[in-house]
Chain A
Amino acid sequence: MNISRFMGRRANWTIPYVIFMAFFVVLPLLLVVYYAFIDANGNFSLANFGKFFQQPESLKTFIYSIGIAMVTTFFCILIGYPAAYFMARAEFSTPKLMAVLFILPMWVNILLRTMSTVALFDFIKVPLGEGALIFGLIYDFLPFMIYPIYNTIQKMDQSYIEAAQDLGATRWEVFCKVTVPISMPGVYSGIAMVFMPTISTFAISELLTNNKIRLFGSIIQEHVQIGGAQLNYGAALSLIMLIIIGLTSFFGGEENEVSKDGGLI
């Protein structure tokens, strides 16, 4: 076959990506599904799922994880939205410096950041635990909330604001009735990037709570590490988490339609 003709077809350029995704996304997913539905002897079984609903501990951890994720996401929006707003609006001075300061922690590996947070808490004698965990999660995930919001606000046409002012809106009314609604796609992206990874976090929660608090991610990780029949249970837990996250983002997606012209996802 003529090489140059082969390379000339644009569709052929996607082949490496398709291969990559097949091996590292689709195949692992299939493996998770496969292990979730078999028992230790390799026979088909729904026991792993039954176990999840019978074992109050897993269920409790799962609900607790969602709670933590919600609190984290809430505070990330609370802190991140105004930060993104101030950075994006040219009228405020030194937005560049602020952007750099917020993005700067992202240059450092998330585990290193968490370990230094632990060291910092140690140093100022703050006990590790739930409070430290939430602080750490907010600190780790805040940039992922700020960036998409910043992006949508910055790309927002200035004339929307002027039109609102022209129609009689005060600064506050402009913010509430125009800026916030138009920047919602950015907020949705931010939620997707903060909420979901938080549920499956395990290293951060272990470090920041001295292993006292376990999030859903930790439970999955522990079971998978033990192996054997536990591996199947861990796979089932992973699948449950994926399905629930998938459902929430599907429901979010209905109103999230606008995100095609803003946001990160």
Chain B
Amino acid sequence: MNLSPKLLEVFTTALAVPADQITADLDYQGIPEWDSMSHMILIAELESSYAITIETDDLLEMTSVTNVVDRLKKYGIEA
């Protein structure tokens, strides 16, 4: 999946995995690293990197890389 360098960095920081592991179908609880704690870090990283506030409904939908990219569009962010 072609993510912007910025979004890729958000993912690698939050999930603490190498960039080549960030694939489109990677999802929450799909790897040990993507647990509830790193998910909250991911949300916090997204909010601070893009200066947005993510709504609850979107937060609960951001359960895969694809879904995150999809939901970010709502906030005017193109990955």
Whether A associates with B in a native complex is: no
Residues of A in contact with B (beta carbons under 8 Å apart)? none
Residues of B in contact with A (beta carbons under 8 Å apart)? none
